[in-house]
Amino acid sequence: MVLTASKLRQDIYRILDQVAETGVPVEIVRGRRRLKIVPAEGSAPRKIDRLKVRPKILIGDPQRLVHMDWSKEWKP
């Protein structure tokens, strides 16, 4: 996302929260220079943390899947 300094000033807290939450950097244009707001290394959320919980996606007993013979389906 590319913003002007004025737009950053209007929504700075929302923009900072968005960068912290998504890990997507924001570029700020000030005159002829570009600045970038990025999360510190190691602070970006992992993709797995952003997955939605879907409790009803699996119908039936999950233990049956573990104990099924998948050798006919497996192709390395």
Q: What is the pLDDT along the chain (76 residues), one digit of tens a residue?
A: 899 999 999 999 999 999 988 888 999 999 999 999 998 877 666 778 778 888 878 788 878 888 888 888 888 7
**Contact call for residues 27 and 35 (beta carbons, < 8 A):** yes
Q: Is the pTM of this model over 0.75?
A: no
Is 35 a member of any domain? yes
Is 42 a member of any domain? yes
Residue 45: predicted pLDDT: 67
What is the number of other CB atoms lying within 10 angstroms of the CB of residue 19? 19
Q: Can you give the residue range of the structural domain that contains 56?
A: 2-66
Distance CA 30, CA 21 (A): 24
Is 74 a member of any domain? no
Is 22 a member of any domain? yes
Is 41 a member of any domain? yes
Is 55 a member of any domain? yes
Is 71 a member of any domain? no
Tally of structural domains, the chain: 1
